[in-house]
Amino acid sequence: MFDRLEDMLAKYEELMAELNDPQLALDQARYKMVMKEQANLSPIVEAYRAYKKAQETIEESEDMLGCESDEEMRELLKEELAGAKEEMASLEEKLKILLLPKDPNDDRNVVMEIRAGAGGDEAALFAAELYRMYVHYAESRRWKTEMVEVNEIGIGGMKSVTFIISGQGAYSRLKYESGVHRVQRVPKTESGGRIHTSTATVAVMPEADEVENDIVIDPKDIRIDVFRSSGNGGQCVNTTDSAVRLTHYPTGIVISCQDEKSQLKNRDKAMRVLKAMLYEMELEKRASEEAEERRSQIGTGDRSEKIRTYNFPQGRVSDHRINLTLYKIDQIMNGDLDEVIDSLIAADQAAKLSKMNETPA
């Protein structure tokens, strides 16, 4: 591990020297690549330098203890030594986590799709609340949200909604949200006051990278239809053929988008969603070859897995994957998801560390 850290430190110093070269600004593609690599190495190098400093403190304190006779001074040295050892152990664990293999999709934007499940109108109302929860969470992290397609019902619910969240590290945090979300409460549509259980399915897909050509679509494989937008909107709604529907022949995937007044913008959004779906299918295909590893990772399971329950009468949210229960349902439904997601990330890292430390029999 430490040989690898020394190599990373040397690479980081090379990158910093390159960033200080005025000539680099003339090559924007190289500049962006160097900046990205430097940013990825920065937390590892920072932790490793702190580790080396703690190590030096331990060596110096031990040397001084060997020749110090003053008892008061010895006590101070012992305290310093104990503190440095504790810090060094903590930093070693931190470095192990930082060196875990990184999901190559973590820095990508995401395409999210929420669909009402069992529960009729109540499920559609819950799907709409989940959508608002993720929009508020994106806003709290200064991510951009773009609507693609929504199928609403008259009482404020959504049978389905597809949207894009753009921002640094969006997939790294939202990937844990894929699965079935369950709500338990007395629906607004229930006159008898009985608690009902309804569900909604959330799918989180990393957006395909245009630069890296993750997905190349043959124009012959797509049919593009344009039609007039419907629903609430401005003057352009129902007057221009701005809505777009893409049909991908090989998979049968159909994507519609009418959120923008521009046909070109709607087509671009629909294409981004289609590519994300095809990229997700490609990832699933690769993962099936490593099914055991994929199943062992929190947040990369099947969409049919029940991952979380929102119990309104008791004010609690329970994540079943890590046995986490929080009594702050109002805050969570308002987008305060960090405590849940941080716990999932910690559990995922612990599981990967445990697997990495396993020794073959």
Q: How many Cβ atoms from other residues are within 10 Å of residue 130's Cβ? A: 23
What is the dotted CATH code of the domain comprising 110-350?
A: 3.30.70.1660
Rounded CA separation 247/148 (Å): 15
pLDDT at 361: 42
The pLDDT of residue 181 is 96
Quote the CA–CA distance of 130 and 134 in Å, as a whole number. Answer: 6
The predicted pLDDT at position 289 comes to: 61
pLDDT means over runs of 10, the chain (361 residues): 87 92 88 87 92 92 86 89 92 87 87 92 94 97 94 90 93 94 85 85 88 78 83 47 88 89 89 91 76 50 77 95 95 96 92 70 42
Q: Report domain extents, the chain.
A: 2-98, 110-350
How much is the pTM? 0.75
Q: What is the pLDDT of residue 187?
A: 82
151 beta partners: 160
Q: What is the pLDDT of residue 189?
A: 66
What pLDDT does residue 179 have? Answer: 92
Which own/partner contact pairs does 36-43 have at CB distance under 8 Å and 24+ positions apart? 37/11, 38/12, 40/102, 41/8, 41/11, 41/12, 41/15, 42/12, 43/98
Measuring CA to CA, which residue among 173, 185, 109 is closest to residue 137? 173
The rounded distance, in Å, linking the Cα atoms of 297 and 285 is 16
pLDDT at 237: 45
Which pairing describes strands 179-185 and 306-311: parallel, antiparallel, or unpaired?
parallel
Give every CB contact of residue 35 below 8 A, 6+ residues apart in sequence. Answer: 19
What is the Cα–Cα distance from 43 to 46, expressed in whole angstroms? 5
pLDDT of residue 238: 45
pLDDT score, position 303: 56
